Amino acid sequence: MRTKLDSVMERLNSNDTEKQEMQYRKSTKDHLAEKVCDFLMGRYEGSVELLLLCTDEGRVISLYPAQEVQRYGRGLSADDLLALKEMLNWSDRVKGYLLFAVAAAEGQSGFLDAFSNDMIRLMGIYERENAKKNFLLRALDFMDNPLCIYDRDAIFRYGNSAYCNVMNIRDREAAVGVHVNDLMKNSGTSIHAMKSTSNKYNMFGVWEFLYLNKLNLNKMNKIIGHAAEYTFDLIIGESEGIRQSIAIASEFATAGRNSVLIVGESGVGKELFAQAIHNYSNRGQEAFIALNCANFPENLFESELFGYVGSAFTGASKNGQLGKFELADGGTLFLDEIAEMPFYFQSKLLRILETGKITRIGDTREIEVGVRVIAATNRDLERMVEEGLFRKDLYYRLQVFNLVIPPLREREDDIVPLAEVFLKQVAQSNGRLAKLLDYSAKKTLTEYNWPGNVRELRNVIQRVALLSKRNVINDKDIEASISSKPYSFKADAPETPENRLEKCRREIEKANANLLKEALEITDGNKQEAAALLGMSRATFYRMMEKYMG
């Protein structure tokens, strides 16, 4: 009996592709796709009768059953691809590849959708890990000292620019795969080995590493891991509001070093958008450094952002510390909750945005940094400017591009898709099948106001997925999960006149403290000049300092 596999093989063998097959060389991405396909076939074995993965041009990358593996590289014409699509009844596009498959039994096509989704997810993970590896290797290129990486067989795998210069390696890519002894024959350079942390790779330098600049090592160590993970493709939502936000953000991403101000309620995903903007820009392979302005006391802001030289102040590290601006050099610095930045420090940030230079604490040298700043807030900065709580000039400098993320209650079409994604994530992390939402659960989700936005939705779904004993979640499960947070279904307590007065008093105290700090900043700490600048006596100035600045 003629099978679908026979038909596929007939298509492959009917093309005179021997010459093309010899010339065809699989790319790194092709090898990755093949590797992921083989891994998933081990997981889905028994559910898939036939699977074919090929490029858009029809080049076969993977073919199941496994005995046909020697067919890799064969070509399929456009007519062949169309015929296969009609014959096999199931096809999909995965990360730039065409995937054709036949389920082992009727009614099992759901496995094929799961296979496709798993392949997209795994290839995305591999691509992100590969990007991190490349980022590390580029960081090593900044080292002044030569450095090489070779495998357990002493085969050259990587050398930074300094190493290639010393070893007279003109084509680094061509040297990959060569034995290190062969690379050393004509260099006349002695080698000093470094202790390896694994059995797979070793590192050595052309000189001892005792003279490495400690601050440069510190920078390399700190940058690793500061990579943006999210892209626009990972932002879930089909509502007009979120689609429009993505379109605007995509345009902002390509606008050079211009600052971006992201505005939205807590939990809408402001940092997610910041990471996506970074990854979509030409800085996507560089560092993404995030700082929450609400997490640092005022006296640590300057050292955290600018860094300091060794022993610059009491308690400072003797080796010094790089600030966030230097760590983000060439990349993006994300300042979350920018409204919480101390008023006195806002002028310093403005100067950096205008000059592109910083000075470490305890140093006199200016350091040029090429950083793009993305700021985010959940507060009304324009109103804060009117109330004297935020600098007007900094506000206008930050909002060169202004991106508003709509709250979840205005994105009703996104609520259920987000909830279903969160259910799948919980299932994957626990090795279980994802639970489903019935109609009543979906209705309850869309009718709720979601004051905590996407963050609250994720927490609710995680809770109900773990606590519900049913595989199909209903409205009662959702209501129980939401109501476990006492504030969710209760109206806010009415604000009393006393509360309003207390709030105004705190804002006045904060404004006075900011005014004093700004005056001291302008006069370089001279209290007499600061008092004169504010039009008050020195005694009054001291009393206000004691009252508002402690």
Q: Single out the residue in 112, 132, 152 at which a domain terminates.
A: 132
Spatial contact of 148 and 205, defined as CB atoms under 8 Å apart: yes
User: Are 238 and 264 found together in one domain?
Assistant: yes
Q: Considering the domain boundaries, does residue 216 fall inside one?
A: no
User: Are 382 and 244 found together in one domain?
Assistant: yes
- 326 versus 82: the higher-pLDDT residue is 326
Q: Considering the domain boundaries, does residue 451 fall inside one?
A: yes
Mean pLDDT of 401-422: 93
pLDDT at residue 60, rounded to an integer: 82
Residues 441 and 473: their CA atoms lie apart, in Å, by 6
Q: Considering the domain boundaries, does residue 218 fall inside one?
A: no
User: Are 324 and 428 found together in one domain?
Assistant: no
Q: Enter the DSSP assignment of 75.
A: B
Domain holding 190, by residue range, is: 144-211
Whole-structure pTM value: 0.54
Could you give the percent of the chain with pLDDT greater than 70?
A: 78
User: Are 336 and 415 found together in one domain?
Assistant: no
Spatial contact of 440 and 475, defined as CB atoms under 8 Å apart: yes
Interval 95-113: pLDDT, tens: 888 888 877 776 556 667 7
Read off the pLDDT band of 194 (50, 70, 90): very low
Read off the pLDDT band of 375 (50, 70, 90): very high
Mean pLDDT of 54-66: 78
pLDDT at residue 108, rounded to an integer: 58
User: Are 126 and 252 found together in one domain?
Assistant: no
Most confident listed range (40-44, 505-509, 521-525): 521-525
User: Are 107 and 57 found together in one domain?
Assistant: yes
Q: Considering the domain boundaries, does residue 138 fall inside one?
A: no
β-strands 372-377, 332-336: how paired? parallel
User: Are 392 and 302 found together in one domain?
Assistant: yes
Q: Which residue type, as a one-letter code, is found at position 505?
A: R
User: Are 264 and 383 found together in one domain?
Assistant: yes
CA dist 174 → 28, 151, 157 (Å)? 16, 16, 10
User: Are 13 and 82 found together in one domain?
Assistant: yes
CATH (domain of 314): 3.40.50.300
* Residue 332: pLDDT over 70: yes
CATH (domain of 417): 1.10.8.60
Q: Considering the domain boundaries, does residue 223 fall inside one?
A: no
**Number of independent structural domains in the chain:** 5
User: Are 274 and 195 found together in one domain?
Assistant: no
Neighbours of 304 (CB within 10 A): 17
Spatial contact of 274 and 334, defined as CB atoms under 8 Å apart: yes
Most confident listed range (122-126, 253-257, 495-499, 500-504): 253-257
Q: Considering the domain boundaries, does residue 225 fall inside one?
A: no
β-strands 60-64, 48-55: how paired? antiparallel
What the block records as the tokens of 478 is 């959702």
What the block records as the tokens of 258 is 């211009």
User: Are 117 and 156 found together in one domain?
Assistant: no
Q: Considering the domain boundaries, does residue 453 fall inside one?
A: yes
User: Are 50 and 23 found together in one domain?
Assistant: yes
Q: Average per-residue pLDDT in the chain?
A: 78
Q: Considering the domain boundaries, does residue 507 fall inside one?
A: yes
Residues 405 and 246: their CA atoms lie apart, in Å, by 9
Phi, psi of 407 (to 5 degrees): -70, 160
Q: Single out the residue in 404, 421, 445 at which a domain terminates.
A: 404
Most confident listed range (213-217, 239-243, 312-316): 239-243
Q: Single out the residue in 349, 376, 404 at which a domain terminates.
A: 404
Spatial contact of 514 and 344, defined as CB atoms under 8 Å apart: yes
Residue 38's closest CA among 16, 71, 62, 3? 62
CATH (domain of 31): 3.30.450
